[in-house]
Every structure is written in structure tokens, then in C-alpha cells.
């Protein structure tokens, strides 16, 4: 019995690590830290301008196999829920943009791609795994975080997006 209780406590603790917001990425009012990054289209994108929408921020790199595997799933979720006030930002963390551009030629996506070539935003959000995914509610508050990707995670992302767009 003790082993089961301990195992349950460990699992709940692990779940809390995945679902609790990163302290460094929070502002004094509890919202996700604002940032401005250059997009693939050349315009500056400011996170605070998307307040009122549900936002999924996905940090990725060209060398990350799971990142490439996940991108088509994120694009499908983006297209499915975009009309309900949802967007995905794919934040590339590499200094060499050409590496990201090559991946995007092989795996085209409809969601905005942003470039964090100085890693300021990924450091602000304590990104310590690739990919890393952060889901914000319409108030700009971090509601869910995920580290890494394995097939099937996209089902959890979609479930969480559905909850947030209904709020």
C-alpha cells in the first residue's frame, strides 16, 4: 500500500512540474512575460497584442527530431481552432535562421514562426527541453506547460486548447 501511495505522489509531483507555470515567465500580475520577436514575414510580433486569444507558444530547433515530428500536429490544431481565437507561435531558438528555413520548406506550417536568435525569450521562459510548449489563456496567463514531445501529446494539447477556448 505504501508503495502505491508513494508512486501516486511521485506521479502527481511530476504532473505538477509539467502543468505549473514557470515562475520566471510570469509578470507581477500573473500574466506571461511579454516579448517581441521578428516573424518569418519580417514583422515584429508582440505577445501582449494577442491578449484575448488563447496562445500556444512552441519553442523548437531544426536539430530536434521531435520538434519536426510535432509541427504538423500543431499546424492542424492551429487551423482547427484559429477561428475561435486561438493561435500558435513557433519560436525557433537558433542563431542561424537558414536552418529553420530549411525545416520549414520541408514542413510548411500556417502558424506564425518567430525567431529568438539571441535566446532571450527561451531563457525568460526557462526552456530546458526541446520542444517546449506553453499554453496561455485569454488573460495571458500560463495555464499549461509541456517539455519534450512523444506521439500522442498532441491529443493532450488539443484537449487543453478546447478547455481554454471555451472559457
Q: Residue 55's domain is classified under what CATH number? A: 3.40.30.10
Asked if the structure places residue 79 within a domain, the reply is yes
pLDDT digits (tens, 9 = 90+) for 50-106: 999 999 999 999 999 999 999 999 999 999 999 999 999 999 999 999 999 999 999
Q: What angle do CA 106, 111, 113 make, to 5 degrees?
A: 70
Helix, strand or coil, per DSSP, at residue 104: helix
pLDDT digits (tens, 9 = 90+) for 53-68: 999 999 999 999 999 9
Asked if the structure places residue 152 within a domain, the reply is yes
pLDDT digits (tens, 9 = 90+) for 140-155: 999 999 999 999 999 9
Higher-scoring residue by pLDDT: 16, 24: 24
C-alpha cell at 55: 496562445
Asked if the structure places residue 14 within a domain, the reply is no
Give the whole-angstrom CA distance, residue 104 versus residue 74: 13
The end-to-end CA distance of the chain, in Å, is 39
Neighbours of 71 (CB within 10 A): 24
Asked if the structure places residue 33 within a domain, the reply is yes
- How many structural domains compose the chain? 1
Residue 20 predicted with pLDDT over 50: no
* Domain span at 104: 21-166
Asked if the structure places residue 4 within a domain, the reply is no
Strand-by-strand arrangement of the 113-115 sheet:
44-46, 36-39, 113-115, 86-92, 54-60, 132-136, 142-147
Asked if the structure places residue 120 within a domain, the reply is yes
Distance set, CA 60 to CA 89, 112, 132, 146 (Å): 10, 13, 7, 12
Asked if the structure places residue 59 within a domain, the reply is yes
Q: Give the helix/strand (H/E) hosting 155.
A: helix 153-166
Amino acid at each position: 500500500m505504501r508503495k502505491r501511495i508513494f508512486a501516486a505522489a511521485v506521479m502527481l509531483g511530476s504532473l505538477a512540474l509539467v502543468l505549473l507555470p514557470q515562475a520566471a515567465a510570469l509578470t507581477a500580475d500573473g500574466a506571461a512575460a511579454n516579448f517581441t520577436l521578428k516573424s518569418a514575414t519580417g514583422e515584429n510580433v508582440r505577445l501582449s497584442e494577442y491578449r484575448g486569444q488563447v496562445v500556444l507558444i512552441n519553442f523548437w530547433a531544426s536539430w530536434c527530431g521531435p520538434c519536426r515530428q510535432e509541427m504538423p500536429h500543431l499546424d492542424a490544431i492551429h487551423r482547427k481552432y484559429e477561428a475561435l481565437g486561438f493561435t500558435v507561435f513557433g519560436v525557433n531558438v537558433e542563431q542561424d535562421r537558414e536552418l529553420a528555413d530549411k525545416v520549414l520548406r520541408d514542413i510548411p506550417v500556417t502558424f506564425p514562426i518567430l525567431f529568438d536568435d539571441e535566446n532571450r525569450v527561451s531563457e525568460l521562459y526557462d526552456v530546458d527541453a526541446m520542444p517546449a510548449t506553453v499554453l496561455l489563456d485569454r488573460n495571458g496567463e500560463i495555464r499549461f506547460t509541456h517539455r519534450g514531445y512523444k506521439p500522442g501529446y498532441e491529443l493532450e494539447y488539443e484537449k487543453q486548447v478546447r478547455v481554454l477556448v471555451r472559457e
